[in-house]
Amino acid sequence: MTSYLTIRRQKTTLFLDFAESDTITEVKKVLAGILKTKVDHLRLKKAEKVLEDDKKLLECDLGHDSAKVVSPAELTLALKENDEWEKVELTPYSVPPPLPEAMARGLQNS
Domain that holds residue 17: 2-85
CA dist 96 and 54 (Å) reads: 40
Domain tally for the chain?
1
Query: What is the residue type of 20?
Result: E
Task: Give residue 109's pLDDT.
Answer: 62
The CA–CA distances, whole Å, from 75 to 7, 15, 24 equal: 5, 10, 11
Q: Is 98 contained in some domain?
A: no
Ordered per-residue pLDDT tens for the chain, 110 residues:
999 999 999 999 999 999 999 999 999 999 999 999 999 999 999 998 999 999 999 999 999 899 999 999 999 999 998 889 988 888 888 888 888 887 777 666 65
Q: Strand 12-19 vs strand 2-9: parallel, antiparallel, or unpaired?
A: antiparallel
Task: Give residue 94's pLDDT.
Answer: 85
Q: Is 105 contained in some domain?
A: no
CATH code, 54 = 3.10.20.90
Buried b / exposed e over 24-62, threshold 16 CB at 10 Å, is bbbbbeebbeebeeeeeebbbebeeeebebeebbbebeb
Task: Give residue 95's pLDDT.
Answer: 87
User: For the whole model, what pTM was predicted?
Assistant: 0.81
Q: Is 92 contained in some domain?
A: no
Task: Give residue 69's pLDDT.
Answer: 92
Q: Is 99 contained in some domain?
A: no
